[in-house]
Chains A and B, each alone.
Chain A
């Protein structure tokens, strides 16, 4: 073949390629993740950036995913829902908040005319359906841990009325009702529907309906026209992007033509840059924390003195200043200082390397080498060098193994051996009440206790009994004192215990949005926000 013919062929090939690429571009490919225009003014699309994945489970009875929980708060309603900051309950699907909390029977009337997003009415059968799933002893759900200890059953009175029967009076239960999102029985009782709920099927009665869901990319919402509840949608359309990497997340909300109006999970290093660009950046201090979790079956971490020594050795003030840029505090209890049940624990791990060395010596530990299995969340990664330097300084050879959160907890689920885990946690996603927070991490059948292999320890067994007694205590003051007492045990044992509590930062454009309040837990809540 002549070279010129060859060039003709290659030219034709190139043209064919370009045409096929253009055709493929026009006819297929991923859905748009950016706003493509359309409505203007008040009808324009709100674009939000969430720094967590949208591919966790969407099943409201199972999920602890920051993105999915935040989205579900806009899609679903509980009988009662809570204010995102104060966590004070308000009537959502129910018409009123029960007034007498000293009884073991709470009756609720459903809001007249309430409909699911598929147009079917919300009935008492739907409420019973959800609570039956949560309380079913044969079904493992995350929500069971928040309800089973105090809620006996849920009965249908008639099509519009239900009764919650409690095992004992439990006023704190009111604010937990938001965790039982009411789902349509006619949808989720079908075979395979719960699997679809995990992957993103979400049909509720809330002010926004899910209009599209693209895992690892974005989820879109539209105002639900038939919503007749207390917090109607202020945005006609919303596009929530999931951008886990910090740089593109910050870039998306930066500059004169920013592609988003609000973003959570703002890195501390970018706060001033975003403020100088005219954005409001506000933080919420809550239970967000870096914790250490020890494998108590792995010697010498079965010895409480070793666990305490490693906590005493950490220069937490330095960690707060260097890694968290001042946006945190060394933990002085399991709970953060702003929690209503907070009391400074009897054992506080103020930086004391000499005490740490003495404790290790008393435990007979020498030449200890530790590999920290850590999650690679950006601010955790920033904190890890301080832990390593602190432990190296007391003669503990420390290596760091930061990796994806999923990878760390898959190892935990597989019961693989480990020494110490350093990870992030925030039980405030579920609520503020201390009983709930402590039961999320501690309990005989609790997932975290399976990870620590500590549940069979005599101290743990006594702790769990004390926790149950506190749960059932009717007198709020006594209950608070009992919780504070058992938190002292948790602090002393340091099996799973926070090192620092830190703030979470949210940024938004105040020229475009009003009514935003920064949350002390991941995600955003736009139920009271609106365009300026």
Chain B
């Protein structure tokens, strides 16, 4: 346990330079943008050259680049991501408002992907090379090939416009109406999860097939245990290690995929916040969203690294 804690502390310590590097990268990339924060701030208000100059001076935009970077990091450490050029609101407020929706979408997508892939993958493995397996193979390969945004447009057309079962877009806060929230989130979560579910289905199938071929399964069934119990209690538990690993990595994909899906379904989450900020030339918001997403991704990967250590004792010796 001490070894695990030591490694954990080392990983957390490594986060500091990693995050500084990410912040530096984002800071430098944003400097290449040809959107002038001063002009963006005064957009629509016909600023005088003096007003523009004053804004740049007050916000340190005339300082040398290294000085601006130090101030930028200092502000971030104090929870200040800057001010939106368009709304004049602190970026951190916009991010904390939008982030819950993106998390809802991501975890709903994740949950759907897990359920769909478990049902599909186990069924395909149990009925190996028979009709159900063939059907699931075709469906899952189609799902792997189909981009989420295309599925989203199809679902809007057929399930929302033609059938009227779901709204075509928009968001209802669960505090206002839980069923309304479910209705607004179902299609986006499905569109987000189906490609991931399709990939996971293939992995679950392979893992379960490998386990089913092992001696202990034959022994268990030969001892009179019902196959349903053997698969549910023994095979599935052992077969899930690989799919879970892949699932962890897919969280990043789901977070990224939410950018497009949120835009298509007009959901006011992090993705839409960023797309709108890019369109409207609001550099501080773009910076804030990118940094938050990157931080989220780093944290998820840290958790996965730690779980690896917990599950595989051999890794503790090699990395310690």
Contacts and interface: CB of A to CB of B under 8 A. Distances in A.
A25 B163 CA distance: 27
Interface string A136-158: 00001110000000000000000
Interface stretch (A32-40, A159-167, A226-234): A32-40
B135 interface: no
Residue picked from B40, B174, B264, most chain A C-beta under 10 Å = B174
B303 to A, nearest CB: 8
Contacts of A222: none
Interface in A214-263: 214-217, 241, 243-245, 247-248, 251-252, 254-259
Interface in B1-53: 34-36, 39-40, 43-48
Interface in B62-98: 86-89, 96-98
A37 B177 contact: yes
Interface in B176-233: 176-177, 180-181, 184
B268 A30 contact: yes
A62 B269 CA distance: 29
Given A407-B35, A410-B43, A36 B180 contact: yes
A321 interface: no
A25 B161 CA distance: 27
Nearest to A252: B168
A406 B89 CA distance: 19
A215 B87 contact: yes
B298 interface: no
B59 to A, nearest CB: 15
A56 interface: yes
Q: Chain B: interface secondary structure?
A: helix
Given A6-B311, A251-B168, A410-B35, A31 B88 contact: no
Nearest to B98: A30
A288 B86 CA distance: 26
A259 B103 contact: no
Contacts of A255: 160-162, 164, 168
Contact of A199 (B87, B111, B265, B281): B87
Nearest to A376: B279
A198 interface: yes
Interface in B266-288: 266, 268-269, 272-273, 276, 278-281
A269 interface: no
A3 B162 contact: no
Interface string B289-320: 00000000000000100010011010000000
A193 to B, nearest CB: 13
| Contact size range, B | 35 or more
Nearest to A404: B279
B88 A198 contact: yes
B139 interface: no
A28 B174 contact: no
Contact of A29 (B34, B173, B237, B241): B173
Contacts of A254: 161, 168
Contacts of B156: 248, 251
Contacts of B181: 25
A410 B40 CA distance: 7
A402 B118 CA distance: 46
Interface in A250-293: 251-252, 254-259
Contacts of A3: 237-238, 241, 311
Contacts of A37: 177, 180
B87 A411 contact: no
A13 B34 CA distance: 43
Contacts of A414: 36, 39
A406 B277 CA distance: 11
A21 interface: yes
Contacts of A256: 163-164
A28 B100 contact: yes
B269 A241 contact: no
B167 interface: yes
B34 A411 contact: yes
Contact of B40 (A24, A25, A406): A406
Nearest to A253: B168
B61 to A, nearest CB: 13
A21 B103 contact: yes
Nearest to B175: A26
Given A30-B269, A57-B45, A413-B39, A259 B171 contact: no
A258 B46 CA distance: 39
A195 interface: yes
Given A199-B89, A410-B40, A141 B46 contact: yes
Contact of B46 (A21, A30, A55, A62): A62
A45 interface: no
Interface in A353-386: none
A53 interface: yes
A1 B241 CA distance: 14
B107 A32 contact: no
B311 A29 contact: no
Contact of A55 (B108, B172, B175, B280): B280
Nearest to A251: B168
A86 interface: no
A481 B238 CA distance: 89
A186 interface: no
Contacts of B177: 32, 36-37
A63 B266 contact: no
B86 A215 contact: yes
B170 interface: yes
Interface string A154-184: 0000000000000000000000000000000
B175 A1 contact: no
A25 to B, nearest CB: 5
B101 A65 contact: no
A64 interface: yes
Contacts of B160: 251, 255, 257
B263 interface: yes
Contacts of B100: 24-25, 28-30
B129 to A, nearest CB: 28
Residue among B40, B184, B238, B310 having the largest count of chain A Cβ atoms under 10 Å: B310
Nearest to B100: A29
Most buried by A among B101, B153, B156, B161: B161
A123 to B, nearest CB: 27
Contacts of A53: 276, 280
B167 A28 contact: no
A462 interface: no
Given A62-B44, A198-B44, A24 B176 contact: no
Contacts of B145: none
B244 interface: yes
Contacts of B273: 216
Interface of B: 34-36, 39-40, 43-48, 86-89, 96-98, 100-101, 103-104, 107-108, 111, 153, 156-157, 160-164, 167-177, 180-181, 184, 237-238, 240-241, 244, 263-266, 268-269, 272-273, 276, 278-281, 303, 307, 310-311, 313
Of all A-B residue pairs in the complex, the 9 with the closest CB atoms, nearest first, are: A257-B164, A29-B100, A255-B161, A251-B168, A34-B170, A57-B44, A21-B107, A256-B164, A30-B268
14 contacts: A21-B108, A25-B100, A25-B104, A28-B100, A34-B180, A199-B89, A248-B156, A251-B157, A255-B168, A257-B164, A259-B167, A404-B280, A406-B43, A407-B35
Given A9-B307, A254-B161, 7 more contacts: A1-B311, A30-B173, A34-B171, A142-B46, A254-B168, A406-B279, A406-B281
